[in-house]
Chain A
Amino acid sequence: MTTSEYTAGTLTHPPHTSPKGSEILVRELPQRGASWVDWVTTTDHKRIGILYLFTTVFFFLVGGVEALLMRIQLGTPDNTFLDPNTYNALFTLHGTTMIFLVVVPIAAAFGNYLVPLMIGARDMAFPRLNMLSWWLLVFGGVVLYASLFFSPPKSGWTAYAPLSESTFLPGHGMDAWILSLHLIGLSSVLGAINFVATIHNMRAPGMSLSRMPLFVWTILIYSYLLILALSSFAATLAMLLVDRNFHGTFFDPTQNGSALLWQHLFWFMGHPEVYIMVLPAFGMISEIVPVFARKPIFGYRAIVIATGAIAFLGMLVWAHHMFATPLSTPVLSFFMLSSFAIAVPTGIKIFNWLATLWRGNIEFRVPLLFAVGFIAQFVIGGATGVILAVFPIDWQLTDTYFVVAHMHYVLFGGSFFALMAGLYYWFPKMTGRLMSEFWGKVSFWVMVIGFNLTFLPQHSAGLSGMPRRVFEYHDTGSLHGYNLASTIGSFVLALGVLISVGNAVWSVRRGRRAGPDPWLANTLEWFTTSPPPAHNFDVIPTVRSFEPMKDIRRRVREQEEQLAAPEPAPEPVG
């Protein structure tokens, strides 16, 4: 069978005019088991992707509740809603959860589901390893939250030594934190190895690196960064474990250890981790913007090179988190300049997205709204990032709410908005049904208002001298106003998130049927049914550009036109 026979009659009509688009694309196959045992023992990358998604959304809600509790505490000055130890445990858990159990693995959720589909593979390279990665993540989460029942970690997610040493934080909460990050780190590294092996070896015929979807590019580079950063972090954590439990002195200044060493080693993981969290988001935006602008991505090559440059430079900027520590001016200047250098490839990406929208035929569907929200908010996080990279300014702003606002503009207004765009965009592929457009738009606007109301005033709180990680503050004129706005905003934001969660739950069963290609998209995952069968594709098409679905649709159209062309008038017989 040829490609066109598979796709004829489904892809030529816009899906919203033809909801019956989901005609047979693949042979009938026996249904996979749907009991929970079948789910937790599956090696199907799509099911593992969905398991990852459920796990990360669960932890996101947990981390969100932690954030709301903190916002209640800070809503008024000198509040006594939470005691200091609870508050310290909450922000430690919130940071650790959101970074290691949400944003990093949620990229793995989408990566697991989409990478094999996008490159035309039938599964990941190591399906069982893939399952192990998910189990390690779950156990990592369980170990972290089990510490709630004895003594939760209270050192902040950065766990600066020597505060994180057993002298100052006795009890095994910190050890649980270390073990949990070992498990999650192992999970991420194994997952990353799997992505690297899959992407390098299992692409469809014709899909050279220069025709790979940009999301796959970002997952590839995300994976390399994960392998570099988290394997180094495993050693760092082991050093802290030795210090705490086996009389080690790596970070103990009273025994000639170095407290600054922890900061260097931590941020050597910590800053690449930031790019680990934003690169897949960039990839999603690079997929979604061209589809809804009905225009090819502008400057494919530049975006790929910029992604690589961001990852490379991202390994060289870690000490910009340490500008206030005793470092010499040349060192400070180096890390300022390397941080500035990252602004250039990041700017290139933003300009490329803008140029993709320029002269497009922009359809305001929910994924596009979230993508636009991402660009508009991320650029604020980028600008405050440049401000913070100027080290004399950083002496004023580091460790204040300005930094809190900056990182949430990058990770929430940025990454998380992109993930929401990705959820609305790929939900029909995962479930076969579209999410509600109306509630999606409501959720988007509520989230935009809530997000900016929460985090914009935090810049001002930081500029007015409010340090981060304080369980209480005295009102020195304006702090109460900023914090109250922020607290109100956080609940608006939570409402916006819940609307989308409700939308997803409702749409799984009741959403409009999507058909294989509801958005008329560009990449191969839309070539198969929604949801795809266990083996993904009956036939894997040959890829001729970085927009294979566009090529396939064009060829189908051409063939149909040929068929529909009036037969040449028969020669009069005679």
Chain B
Amino acid sequence: MGPIPRRRARHLALTLLATGLVLGLAGVLAATAGADAVTPDAGPTKNAVDIDTLYKIVFFIGLAVIGIVWGVLFYSLFRFRSRRGRRAPQIFGNVPLELGWTLAAGGIVIAIAIITLVMVPGIKNPQSSGPTTLAEASSQNASIDQPPPPNPLRALNIKVNSQQYLFRYQYPNGAVSFQQMVVPVDTTVTLDITSNDVAHSWWIPKLGGKADAVPGYTNHTWFKATKTGTFTGQCAEFCGSGHAVMSAKVTVVGREQYRVWVANQKKLIQQSQKQVLLMRKLFQQTGA
């Protein structure tokens, strides 16, 4: 221990450093608060936007708690740093105070729980497409675990089957595509997600949360894109050596464009299947 002035100086330096760190972090947070750096991706679909809103609510509550803890912590470290001749009061506890902060902590998490449970149905249950929807988006019950709603849902149902390291999509008319999914705009799309081999996870960040593809189970999710565009994502559950390259892409197009595409896709698939059958027959005949 050096002489007192040096000690004081060191404490001051420490406090300044700590304060600088806090301010620096706060600055970084403030600078990026509006940007994507501190919030999840949210695209033109209600479920993703709602998740983003919920995240922001909990995030700012969390920031406030961190702020309080850091405030008290750094204030105490500065204000109650050791001084010669001072003796700390020997306090062993304070029951009302402790009950108080227990209730406060409980109150905060109960508030978050209520907000979440209120918002869950809007995120989890698919919206209906509306009356002007496609013929394919026929009425069906696509809720994950609820009984059929009184107003039948109009939605386009696509089956997503995952396998090492590819997603395969099957459309209502029987057409199939790989990796890139094409869907119509302003139409609720419900997805039935399965896996052929190991566990995968379907995730297009801008179109909502993940849905794990666990072999032996069917998982469900949905989105309703209100804008055209291409949204990328990738498998989010580690599935083997090619996990990082197992990508997915959802292209939202106009309804008429979708109708043309899906019909053409069906034709192409049928043609190539015919070719495969021909080849197989040829091979069998020649014994190759």
**Does B44 sit within 8 A of A, measured CB to CB?**
no
Contact present for A361 and B217 (CB under 8 Å): no
- Min CB–CB distance B195 → chain A (angstroms): 8
Task: From the candidates A295, A333, A340, A445, name the one contacting B112 in the complex (CB within 8 A).
Answer: A340
**Does A57 sit within 8 A of B, measured CB to CB?**
no
Contact present for B241 and A84 (CB under 8 Å): yes
Contact present for A392 and B116 (CB under 8 Å): yes
* Surface stretch bound by B, among A28-36, A121-129, A350-358, A564-572: A350-358
A residues 51-66 touching B (CB-CB < 8 Å): none
Contact present for B77 and A393 (CB under 8 Å): no
Q: Could you say which residues of chain B place their CB within 8 Å of the CB of A20?
A: none
| 29 CB-based A-B contacts, threshold 8 Å | A84-B244, A88-B238, A160-B199, A163-B199, A298-B91, A300-B93, A325-B219, A326-B212, A326-B220, A329-B144, A340-B113, A344-B102, A347-B102, A348-B98, A354-B76, A355-B94, A357-B76, A361-B87, A375-B69, A375-B73, A379-B69, A386-B109, A387-B59, A387-B62, A448-B21, A463-B37, A464-B36, A470-B234, A470-B243
Q: Could you say which residues of chain A place their CB within 8 Å of the CB of B77?
A: 357, 362, 364, 372
**Does B203 sit within 8 A of A, measured CB to CB?**
yes
A399 to B201 CA separation, bound complex (whole angstroms): 9
Task: From the candidates B14, B112, B113, B201, name the one contacting A364 in the complex (CB within 8 A).
Answer: B14
Across the two chains, which residue of chain A brings its CB closest to B71? A354
**Does A506 sit within 8 A of B, measured CB to CB?**
no
B residues 86-137 touching A (CB-CB < 8 Å): 86-94, 97-98, 101-102, 105-106, 109-110, 112-113, 116-117, 119-120, 123-124
Contact present for B198 and A470 (CB under 8 Å): no
Once A160-B199, A361-B86 are accepted as A-B contacts, the answer to whether A379 and B66 lie under 8 Å apart by CB is yes
**Does A166 sit within 8 A of B, measured CB to CB?**
no
B contact residues, total (Cβ < 8 Å): 95
Task: From the candidates B38, B88, B109, B116, name the one contacting A341 in the complex (CB within 8 A).
Answer: B109
Q: Could you say which residues of chain A place their CB within 8 Å of the CB of B92?
A: 296, 298-300
- Min CB–CB distance B2 → chain A (angstroms): 11
Task: From the candidates A163, A258, A352, A383, name the one contacting B238 in the complex (CB within 8 A).
Answer: A163
Contact present for A359 and B236 (CB under 8 Å): no
Q: With contacts A300-B92, A302-B93, A390-B112 known, what are 13 further pairs, Cβ within 8 A?
A: A162-B215, A325-B212, A326-B217, A326-B220, A329-B120, A351-B98, A359-B88, A362-B76, A390-B54, A393-B54, A396-B51, A396-B209, A472-B245
**Does B278 sit within 8 A of A, measured CB to CB?**
no
Output the residue of B39, B235, B240, B242 with the most chain A CB within 10 A.
B240
Q: Could you say which residues of chain A place their CB within 8 Å of the CB of B65?
A: 347, 379, 383
A residues 473-489 touching B (CB-CB < 8 Å): 473, 476, 478
- Min CB–CB distance A476 → chain B (angstroms): 8
**Does B227 sit within 8 A of A, measured CB to CB?**
no
Task: From the candidates B62, B97, B117, name the one contacting A386 in the complex (CB within 8 A).
Answer: B62
A97 to B65 CA separation, bound complex (whole angstroms): 33
**Does B216 sit within 8 A of A, measured CB to CB?**
yes
Q: Could you say which residues of chain A place their CB within 8 Å of the CB of B124?
A: 329, 392
Contact present for B217 and A344 (CB under 8 Å): no
Across the two chains, which residue of chain A brings its CB closest to B52? A396
Contact present for A358 and B76 (CB under 8 Å): yes
Across the two chains, which residue of chain A brings its CB closest to B198? A163
A155 to B197 CA separation, bound complex (whole angstroms): 14
